[in-house]
Amino acid sequence: MKIGFIGLGVMGRPMAQHLIEAGHELYLYRVKPASAHLVDGGATACASASQVARSAEVIILMLPDTPDVEHVLFDEGGVAEGIEPGKLIIDMSSISPLATKDFAARIEAWGCDYVDAPVSGGEVGAKAASLTIMAGGKPEAFERAKPLFEKMGKNITLIGGVGDGQIAKVANQIVVALNIQAVSEAIRFSRKAGADPTVVRKALLGGFAASRVLEIHGERMINEAFEPGFRMRLHHKDLSLALESARLLELMLPNTAMVHQLMNSALEKGLGDTDHSALIKAL
C-alpha cells in the first residue's frame, strides 16, 4: 500500500519504520537527519504535505499539537490540496477532540475518510510496535486502517465516532499523569524517610501498587535518567486539553489541575524536553 507519513519525531520514526518493514511504500514529509535512515530504507522524501497526499492512498499524521495538524492539513501546500475522493486520513497525534471533529468534517467534504487514532506507550511502545491505539471514526474506515495499526500496536480499540479516540487519549493522559505524581511522591517519601527507594520500588511492584509507571518511570526517577520517551511539554499540552475540555463540560478535575501546575513548574525549570517522569524534579 502507498502510505504517506508526516511527523517523524521520537515516536513517528519507529512507527514509519514498522510500516516500511511490512512492505508498504512510504512517502515522507519533513525528513531530517534523524529520519534519513527511512529514506535509505526505501521511503520517498516529498517536498510538501500536498505531494505526500497526491502520492499516497492513506496519509498518517503524528504531530505534536492541534495547530500543527491544522497547518499540515489545510494551509498552503497542505494535505487537503493533494487529496481526492476515496483517500484515508489517519491522525495519530494527540490533539483537541473538538478540533478533530471539525477537521474530519472538512476532510470528509472532499469525499475522504478520517480516523483519529492517538496512541499510548511512548517511545518504548513505538519501537516495540506495542502501542495502545484508541480510534474514532466510521467502522468501515477503522477496518481499512486496522491492518496498518496492527503493524504499530497491540491493543487496538475503536472507541466510537470521530473524536472519541482523542477523548480516550485525554483520559489516558489524566491517569498516567496522576500515576507519575503518585510514584514521584512515593519515591521522595521513601528516600527522605531513610529507606532505599530501589528496594521500596521492588517491593511495591509485587503488590497492589504495581503499575507500568512504577516499573518504568520509577526506575527512571531513582536513576535520574530523564532522556525523553515522552516529553514533559507534550504531556503538559495533553493536560491542558483535559482541563479546557472539562471547563466546557462544566466538570471538575482537581487532581489533574494540580499535576498540570506541577508541570508548569517543571517547564519553568527548563524541563520541557525531558521525559515526563522528570516531574519528580518539580517536587
Residues annotated as catalytic are 169
Residue type, 39: V
Q: Which residues on adjacent β-strands are paired with residue 231?
A: 275
Distances (CA, A) of 91 to 137, 163, 166: 11, 10, 10
Angle between helices 164-193 and 97-108 (to 10 degrees): 150
Q: In sequence order, which residues have a C-beta less than 8 Å from that of residue 201 and are 6 or more positions away? A: 187, 214, 218, 219, 222
- Contact of 226 with 275, CB cutoff 8 Å: yes
Return d(Cα 270, Cα 255) in angstroms, integer.
Answer: 23
Q: Which three cell numbers stand for residue 108?
A: 470528509
Which cell is 92 given? 495519530
Q: Are 65 and 74 in contact (CB under 8 A)?
A: no
CB 105 within 8 A of CB 132: no
Question: Measured between alpha carbons, how far is 190 from 43 in angstroms, rounded to an integer?
Answer: 49
DSSP category for residue 129 = T
User: In whole angstroms, what is the distance from residue 257 CA to residue 239 CA?
Assistant: 8
